[in-house]
Amino acid sequence: MNQTHPTQPALVFIHGFLDGADAWDDLVLRLGNRAAGALRVDLPGMGARADEPGPYSLDRFAADVTTQVRALARPVVLVGHSMGAQIAELVAQRLDERVRGLVLLTPVPLRGTGLPDDAMRTFHALGGDPAAQRELRRNLSVKLDDAQLERLGQLGDRVDAAAVGTFADLWNKGHPSGAETARFRGPVLIIGGSSDAFVTAELISSGVTPRFEAPTVASIERAGHWPHVEQPEAVARIVGSFLANVEQASDTPDVPVAPQGWTRAFEQKSADAFSEAFAPNVVLEASVLAKPVVGIDQVKTVMTAASKIYEALSFTHEAHNDPRDYLEWEVQAFGGEQMRGITVLTKNAEGKIVHVAIHHRPLDGALKFSAELGRILQGQVDASSFYRGA
């Protein structure tokens, strides 16, 4: 019999545009007992409540979810996808300390996306056109199989054609409070899909991450706009780790990781982003390297390749002792294998990184990672820098 501890926060899942509560089935299954007693809402006009009439607004949705959460009489962690992330933020504002954590999955910024009218016509035209809705989902996903696509498509089929454009305008225009620093001050996890062409890493880093004090940011490899459907096991691991940190927080918690050049470079997986963080003479040492890599060009080449091996990465804790920063992290790679480690960054007077020391564990994962780096970087970096097997 599935049970949860009475003081353990309940999970509240808030779906996105044209979806419904059923969109969370795969993730809830992977979360197992931790999702027992979870609340999966259907928003007015969508899902099982598709016949509820307007007027619709983000504030109406937030008030509706807030009422349902209050009925739980328990602390909660809010999990919002896409437009649902906007609503999760608004609910967190209303419930304050009742919300112990916020998980924003491929989140539309609360301020909205601000797409021009020409772009929005595509979304308005989805109303009453099941084929177009499925085509949009296919284009914005990476790993939806036919059955998953049809299951999501049927959720969209329920929505009144006249309401589709209204819902699209809601997430596009956003909410006035999105122009301010986020009012929620608790732990925040932001999850992107590495191949999401809609909520891109750039949109997250510019429109979502800066609003929070020190969010944890993760990216799910081989996933588009619906990571919880495309890669539910990967999302469950990241969310499970976040929940463990929320639940085990003490009166003197570790300092969460604030966004900086290093962490943002991993979000963007861009050589240019790594270049901005490094000094020209930077040196990289790591447990996955047989010898140091020296110089900005070689180091950024190695780090960019490494960032793309990770299927998911989250920075969990940090500490500072000038001129060094210490970052703890958790990753998964190679089809879900988990690794952990610590990175030590040494900076010069200008704030540029001059030395990087990365410590992976366990050993078998580090060796596999080193061998894969060597394969990817063949001809670009000295092969003797990497493990080549027995």
User: pLDDT of 69-115, one tens digit each?
Assistant: 999 888 999 999 999 999 999 999 999 788 999 999 999 999 999 99
Q: How confident is the model at residue 7 (pLDDT cuts 50, 70, 90)?
A: low
Rounded Cα gap, residues 315 and 13, in angstroms: 23
Counting Cα atoms < 13 Å in the Cβ hemisphere of 125 gives 11
94 vs 338, residue with greater confidence:
94
**What percent of the chain is modeled with pLDDT above 90?**
69
Once rounded to an integer, what is the mean pLDDT over residues 242-265?
66
* Confidence (pLDDT) at 252: 41
Selected from 3.50.50.60, 3.20.20.140, 3.40.50.300, 3.40.50.1820, the CATH number assigned to the domain covering 10-247 reads 3.40.50.1820
CA atoms of 107 and 262, how far apart (whole Å): 22
Cross-sheet strand order for the sheet of 10-14: 39-41, 10-14, 76-81, 99-105, 188-193, 216-220
- Given pLDDT bands bounded at 50, 70 and 90, which one contains residue 39? very high
> Coil, strand or helix: which one is 12?
strand
pLDDT for residue 254 is more than 60: no
Do residues 329 and 316 lie in contact, with contact meaning Cβ atoms separated by under 8 Å? yes
> What backbone phi and psi angles, to 5 degrees, belong to 180?
-105, 165
Whether residue 231 contacts residue 141, with contact meaning beta carbons closer than 8 Å, is answered with: no
Predicted local confidence at residue 3, as pLDDT: 47
* pLDDT at residue 256 tops 70: no
CB distance 50 to 160 below 8 Å: yes
**What would the pLDDT profile of 120-174 be if each residue is shown by its tens digit?**
999 999 999 999 999 999 999 999 999 999 999 999 999 999 999 999 999 999 9
CA distance 222 to 197: 12
Mean pLDDT, the chain, whole residue set: 90
3-class state of residue 190 by DSSP: strand
Residues 387 and 290: beta-carbon distance below 8 Å: yes
pLDDT at res. 357: 94
C-alpha span between 3 and 23 (Å, rounded): 23
For residue 11, what are the CA distances in angstroms to 33, 38, 41, 75? 11, 5, 11, 9
In the structure encoding, which two tokens stand for residue 129, read together? 């056109």
Structural element, H or E, at residue 162: helix 161-173
Q: Residues of CATH 3.10.450.50 domain(s) within the chain?
A: 261-385
DSSP state of 13: E
Q: Of residues 251 and 64, which shows the higher confidence score?
A: 64
CATH topology of domain 261-385: Nuclear Transport Factor 2; Chain: A, (3.10.450)
Give the pLDDT confidence score for residue 68 in this predicted structure: 94
* Delimiting residues of CATH 3.40.50.1820 domain(s) in the chain: 10-247
136 DSSP β-pair partners? none
Does pLDDT of 338 surpass 50? yes
pLDDT at 2: 41
Q: What is the share, in percent, of the chain residues with pLDDT greater than 70?
A: 94
Tell me the two tokens of residue 184: 């929620």
Which residues on neighbouring strands pair with residue 313, listed in sequence order?
331
- pTM of the entire predicted model: 0.69
Task: Provide mean pLDDT across the span 175-195.
Answer: 94
Q: Can you point out the beta strands (E) in the chain?
A: 10-14, 39-41, 76-81, 99-105, 188-193, 216-220, 278-286, 293-294, 312-321, 324-333, 337-347, 353-361
Q: Which residues pair with 345 in a beta bridge?
A: 325, 356
- Ranges assigned E (strand) in 48-169: 76-81, 99-105
pLDDT tens digits for 283-319?
999 999 999 999 999 999 998 888 888 877 777 778 8
